[in-house]
Amino acid sequence: MGVLGLIFILVVAYSLSLNRREIRLRLVVWGLGLQFLLAFLVLKTPFGKIFHVVGQIINRSMIYAEQGSVFVFGDLAKLDGPAGSIFAFQVLPLILFVSALFAVLYHLRFMQLVVKGIAVVMQRLMGTSGAESLNVAANIFMGQSEAPLTIRPYLARLTRSELMTVMTGGMATISGALLVAYVRIGGVPAEHLVTAVVMTAPACILLAKMIVPEIETPETLGCVPKNDDQEDVNVVDAVARGTSEGLYLALNVGAMLIAFVGLIALSNGLLSWITELPGFDFVPSSLEHFFGMLFSPAAWLLGVPWKDASTVGNLLGTRMVLNEFVAYAQLGSIRETLDPKSVLIASYALCGFANFGSVGIQVGGIGSLIPERRHELAKLGFRAMLAGTMANFMTACIAGLIIR
| pLDDT tens sequence across 58-113 | 778 778 888 888 888 888 887 667 766 677 887 788 888 888 888 888 888 887 88
Residue of 65, 57, 92, 89 whose CA lies nearest to 182 = 92
Does residue 309 belong to any structural domain of this protein? Answer: no
Q: Most confidently modeled of 185-189, 209-213, 270-274? A: 209-213
Which of 232-241, 244-253, 291-300 has the weakest average pLDDT? 244-253
Does residue 330 belong to any structural domain of this protein? Answer: no
Distances (CA, A) of 227 to 133, 159, 193, 292: 12, 19, 26, 43
| pLDDT tens sequence across 367-403 | 888 999 999 999 999 999 999 999 999 999 999 998 7
* pLDDT above 60: residue 185: yes
Task: Report the distance separating Cα 78 and Cα 99, nearest Å.
Answer: 20
Range of the domain at 116: 2-266+347-402
Q: Average the pLDDT over 359-370 and give the result.
A: 86
| pLDDT tens sequence across 121-177 | 888 888 889 889 988 988 888 878 778 877 888 888 999 999 999 999 999 998 877
| pLDDT tens sequence across 306-344 | 999 999 999 999 898 888 888 998 999 899 999 999 999
Q: Could you give the number of structural domains in the chain?
A: 1
Does residue 208 belong to any structural domain of this protein? Answer: yes
Per-residue pLDDT at 230: 60
Residue of 366, 382, 325, 359 whose CA lies nearest to 174 = 325
| pLDDT tens sequence across 10-60 | 999 999 999 999 999 989 999 999 999 988 888 788 877 787 787 778 778
Per-residue pLDDT at 170: 93
**Is the backbone of residue 38 left (phi > 0), alpha (psi -120 to 50) or beta?**
alpha
Distances (CA, A) of 198 to 141, 195, 232, 301, 376: 9, 5, 27, 22, 28
At position 330, the amino acid (one-letter code) is Q
Q: pTM score, two decimals?
A: 0.85
Does residue 40 belong to any structural domain of this protein? Answer: yes
Per-residue pLDDT at 291: 82
Q: What is the DSSP letter of 175?
A: -
Task: Report the distance separating Cα 399 and Cα 100, nearest Å.
Answer: 31
**42-50 long-range contacts, CB within 8 A, separation 24+:** 42/195, 42/198, 42/199, 43/195, 43/399, 43/402, 43/403, 44/402, 48/191
Does residue 205 belong to any structural domain of this protein? Answer: yes
Task: Report the distance separating Cα 56 and Cα 50, nearest Å.
Answer: 10
| pLDDT tens sequence across 193-230 | 888 998 999 999 999 999 999 999 888 887 777 665 56
Per-residue pLDDT at 51: 76
Does residue 280 belong to any structural domain of this protein? Answer: no
Per-residue pLDDT at 260: 80
Per-residue pLDDT at 4: 92
Per-residue pLDDT at 162: 94
300 vs 97 pLDDT, higher one: 300
Residue of 243, 241, 236, 261 whose CA lies nearest to 93 = 243
Does residue 25 belong to any structural domain of this protein? Answer: yes
Per-residue pLDDT at 307: 94
Per-residue pLDDT at 257: 75
Does residue 391 belong to any structural domain of this protein? Answer: yes
